[in-house]
């Protein structure tokens, strides 16, 4: 029977890519949400782990805008990507979400950006495929670089797991699905509080708009498009 697995962070993405036939990365605040919003507007997104000189050079090479900090015109803020014209091209750095996507893609498996906005669409797409499913809760980073588990990514993965009827759930996947069934408002969780305090309450609201996007952001040739 097909099985749904859940794990954490970049290392978890590598582990799941080695054992599963498709990997879905959930970085709800905000990489996966930003990619979902962008893809729904026909904006092409290249994930990049860090915003550095290499990212800038790559953006020039592919004719894309390099996303900056959240206060910049184009950034990880989903609202900033929603304002772009269809056909725009963006390099979107994110050590957590993009890092997980790139780690899984290096193993050669299909990689999808999943979030609350596209959970129903992603689950439907997964039902149409064969093999085991890996759901990655990307998490955040502590100042020392270690993984900081993030509630929003756990329930993001769980929201997809809960819709995969007919597939077997590991203990971790079942626990995530149960957490999603009693999901708290994202404005109450650590990452949401941080964004609201910085003036980005709108990004939190966009992230918890369940089912708002009916597309599946699939990573192909290093960039996200509609699967």
CATH number of the domain residue 185 falls in: 3.90.1560.10
State what percent of residues in the chain have pLDDT above 90.
99
Is there a domain that residue 141 lies in? Answer: yes
pLDDT at residue 20 greater than cutoff 90: yes
Which residue from 215, 203, 192, 222 is spatially nearest to 79, judged by alpha carbons?
203
Please give the residue range of the domain that contains residue 17: 3-30+96-221
Is there a domain that residue 215 lies in? Answer: yes
Is there a domain that residue 69 lies in? Answer: no
Is there a domain that residue 178 lies in? Answer: yes
Is there a domain that residue 61 lies in? Answer: no
Domains identified in the chain, total number: 1
Is there a domain that residue 175 lies in? Answer: yes
Q: What is the DSSP string of 18-31?
A: HH-SEEEEE-TTTH
Which residue from 174, 198, 160 is spatially nearest to 77, judged by alpha carbons?
198
8 Å CB contact between 45 and 88: no
Read off the pLDDT of each residue in 174-178 and give the average, rounded to a whole number: 98
Distance CA(156)–CA(116), nearest Å, equals: 6
pLDDT at residue 225 greater than cutoff 90: no
Query: What is the reported pTM?
Result: 0.97
Is there a domain that residue 59 lies in? Answer: no
Distance CA(38)–CA(161), nearest Å, equals: 23
């Amino acid at each position: 029977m097909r099985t749904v697995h859940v794990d954490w962070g970049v290392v978890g993405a590598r582990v799941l890519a080695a054992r599963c036939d498709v990997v879905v990365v959930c970085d709800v605040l905000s990489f996966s949400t930003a990619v979902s919003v962008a893809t729904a507007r026909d904006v092409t997104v290249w994930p990049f782990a860090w915003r550095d000189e290499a990212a800038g050079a790559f953006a020039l090479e592919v004719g894309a805008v390099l996303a900056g900090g959240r206060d910049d015109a184009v950034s990880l803020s989903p609202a900033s990507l929603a304002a772009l014209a269809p056909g725009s091209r963006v390099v979107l750095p994110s050590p957590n979400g993009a890092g997980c996507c790139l780690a899984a893609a290096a193993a050669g498996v299909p990689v999808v950006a999943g979030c609350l906005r596209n959970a129903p669409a992603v689950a439907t797409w997964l039902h149409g495929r064969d093999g085991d499913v890996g759901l990655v809760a990307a998490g955040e980073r502590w100042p020392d670089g270690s993984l900081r588990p993030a509630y929003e990514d756990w329930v993001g993965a769980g929201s997809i797991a809960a819709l995969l009827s007919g597939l077997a759930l590991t203990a971790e996947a079942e626990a995530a699905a149960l957490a999603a069934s009693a999901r708290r408002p994202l404005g109450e969780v650590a990452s949401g509080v941080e964004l609201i305090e910085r003036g980005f309450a709108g990004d939190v609201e966009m992230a918890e708009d369940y089912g708002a996007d009916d597309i599946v952001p699939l990573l192909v040739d290093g960039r996200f498009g509609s699967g």
